[in-house]
Chains A and B, each alone.
Chain A
Amino acid sequence: MSKEPVAVVGIGQTRHVAARRDVSIAGLVREAAGRALDDAELTWADVDAVVIGKAPDFFEGVMMPELYLADALGAVGKPMLRVHTAGSVGGSTALVAAGLVAARVHGTVLTLAFEKQSESNAMWGLSLPIPFQQPLLAGAGGFFAPHVRAYMRRSGAPDTVGALVAYKDRRNALKNPYAHLHEHDITLEKVVASPMLWDPIRYSETCPSSDGACAMVLTDRAGAARAPRPPAWLLGGAMRSEPTLFAGKDFVSPQAGKDCAADVYRQAGITDPRRDIDAAEIYVPFSWYEPMWLENLGFAAEGEGWKLTESGVTALDGDLPVNMSGGVLSTNPIGASGMIRFAEAALQVRGQAGAHQVDGARRVLGHAYGGGSQFFAMWLVGSAPPGS
């Protein structure tokens, strides 16, 4: 028996900001979930199950917050699942929800991911002092910056590429009312002039810390037929993981990322992602990860990803727009960040992306990764159902 086609019929997110002091965590998730239901023109009673994700509990210090959030998400008396795969969790959560629909376990599933970073300090949560171990020497970007230098050495990319990515994404964010950073006076010169924090990573090439939530309503073919607006159809979805550290680990282009993308493309019948995919929303927490992931995802040959960025291919009006929403560089409620990528891909193929809509987007990739390049989650969504 074949899988049930999965459709995204509702999308909602909060207006992401540094601190939402006006709402509890329950109020935050409720806002996104309510907007997703409104978009689908459904009520709480129409939802069969809830699948929720967030980054480590230490980020807010609420152990198993899904228990207390059941009321806010209308989950009482229904199955509720929590997914946990570090920074990729928003993507993994959506894929677990999609699997429940595809397997015909449930007809309509609400999936949601969130982070309220203002309630804690993510850097503290990630760097607890461990007895006998040398303290971390470099702070947040110090983990990523050496990998960026390795990429630059391997690809021969000019050192201007990182700033180009940041400038592009921050300008895209100006077209997205939900994005956290709206830097109206941004210029390329300002990005280049921003302080070099962890050379080669500048301040303006790093992501912000945000409070926010994102929700989607996933449903089956019958649910899609009743939907008031065009659905996004799941054409392929996959997760892969690998250890954070092992001999032979390639941080620049992790094998798990390549394998995950290959699985998605096989499911969707994509043979040439650069030709067959119209746009991509990928998890870029530091600007240089755009060219790195373009290679890892097969949009460019090894060492060539930066050329797509430099030549404007990844701009909003380019041939392969990347991070139309403004990306993680403009909005980063960590646990929600993966789902925001997935939701942006769905918005694009539904034609609902507003000012950052890519004309004629029919197939768009959503991508998330996390845990020191340990977890990968991706989906490809289309404007037409699978097999059509």
Chain B
Amino acid sequence: MPDVLSAPLVVEFPFTRSLGPVQSAFLTGLRERVVLGVRTTDDRTLVPPVEYDPVTAEEIRDLVEVTPTGTVTTWAWNHAPRRGQPLTTPFAWVLVRLDGADTALLHALDAPGPDAVRTGMRVRVRWAEERTGAITDIACFEPYDGEAGEPGATGKSVPAGGHSGVFGDPITGIVAPARLDYTYSPGRAQSAYIEALSARRTVGERCPSCRKVYVPPRGACPTCGVATAEQVEVGPRGTVTTFCIVNIKAKNLDIEVPYVYAHIALDGADLALHARIGGIPYDQVRMGLRVAPVWTEGARYPDHYRPTGEPDAAYETYKELL
């Protein structure tokens, strides 16, 4: 059995978030070194705030300011911080109930080691130098000896009280980049297919039950639900079964438009694969056109397919392979 291929796969995207009124006030407040919560209909204060009461489902907009000091309600030590986490040195993940709040906020606590952290310890916000209206405007929490209701980071007394949530230049949206790191493996069947392609051979697999030849093979027949193993070389020639003419440039594709994107049933295959047609004006491509692959040096796949000059295939011969 040939080696099964594997390769890193990174999936990342800068998702955007429209904040809505409550999160907008919360994040803009952080930029101004003000921590806002929201008061529920049963008079509890939730920090971070939510838009809808978890108990009654009522819309809640009654913002209150709480102090930037609080108490750790539980924690876990992070021995090895990863990329994108709040601190680059080992730290504690903590849930902090800020003074004046009834719920706890998840953040990082800067502490020399796990021995320095305990449930019930007093902490305060360490504000980031550069603040943009994001949860990272709280750089982290740090141990704090003072009492609740002591002067806040703004330098003036901030008793818990109502807040309009109105600030100049409010933050209404944020970018929330996401990244996932995978090790991808195409599995046995596709690894064998890719291996054969490197010798410019197209090898599919035949279903032992329905006898259909799958190209590229997935290792199982989706109709019969049985494993496939018998390898069958198909092509190299094939028939254009249907196509479209692409007139708009796709991102990350260095192909001049217009070009033809076609479904091609290789001789001996029981379903069509997709490829570009070249070597013929785009407006002369037609269903039934006979084609053959054109390879470029070092490429894993044929660059495109070109006409062979054979007479067109009759519709009856490929109408099940569109």
Contact = CB atoms under 8 A, between A and B. Distances in A.
A1 interface: no
Interface string A122-166: 001100111111111111011001111110011000000000000
A166 B53 CA distance: 43
Contact of A142 (B207, B212, B261): B261
B280 interface: no
B244 A137 contact: no
Contacts of A118: 16, 18
Nearest to A249: B271
A132 to B, nearest CB: 5
A153 B318 CA distance: 12
B242 A146 contact: yes
Contacts of B271: 245-249
Given A21-B172, A61-B15, A116-B18, A131 B184 contact: yes
A141 B16 CA distance: 25
B322 A147 contact: yes
Nearest to B19: A24
Contacts of B184: 130-131
Nearest to B322: A150
A271 interface: no
Interface of A: 19-24, 26-27, 30, 44, 58, 60-62, 70-74, 76, 116, 118-121, 124-125, 128-139, 141-142, 145-150, 153-154, 195-201, 243, 245-249, 251-252
B161 interface: no
Contacts of B320: 248
13 contacts: A24-B19, A26-B52, A118-B18, A119-B16, A124-B13, A137-B261, A146-B242, A146-B262, A198-B247, A199-B244, A201-B244, A247-B212, A247-B271
A149 B242 contact: yes
A146 B321 CA distance: 12
B7 A30 contact: no
Max count, chain B CB within 10 A of own CB: residue among A72, A129, A200, A246: A246
Nearest to B319: A154
Contacts of B300: 132, 134
A22 B173 CA distance: 9
Interface stretch (B54-62, B98-106, B108-116, B121-129): B54-62
B233 interface: no
A76 B55 contact: yes
Interface of B: 5, 7-9, 11, 13, 15-21, 23, 50-57, 59, 172-173, 176, 178, 184, 186, 190, 194, 207, 210, 212-214, 221-223, 241-248, 250, 252-253, 255, 258, 261-263, 270-271, 274-276, 287, 300-301, 315, 319-320, 322
Contacts of B173: 21
Given A61-B15, A153-B287, A252-B322, A132 B186 contact: yes
Nearest to B172: A21
B244 A198 contact: yes
Contacts of A251: 322
A73 B241 CA distance: 48
Nearest to B23: A24
Given A132-B190, A153-B242, 15 more contacts: A44-B57, A118-B18, A119-B15, A120-B16, A128-B9, A131-B184, A132-B5, A132-B186, A137-B276, A138-B250, A145-B244, A153-B315, A199-B244, A247-B213, A247-B223
A376 to B, nearest CB: 17
Nearest to B9: A131
Contacts of B212: 247-248
B18 A23 contact: yes
A258 B319 CA distance: 19
B242 A147 contact: yes
Instruction: Point out which of B5, B50, B261 has the most chain A C-beta atoms below 10 A from its C-beta.
Output: B261
A74 B56 CA distance: 7
B61 to A, nearest CB: 11
A58 B13 CA distance: 9
A30 to B, nearest CB: 7
Contacts of B244: 138, 141-142, 145-146, 148-149, 198-201
Contacts of B262: 146
A197 B52 contact: no
A24 B52 contact: no
A73 B56 CA distance: 10
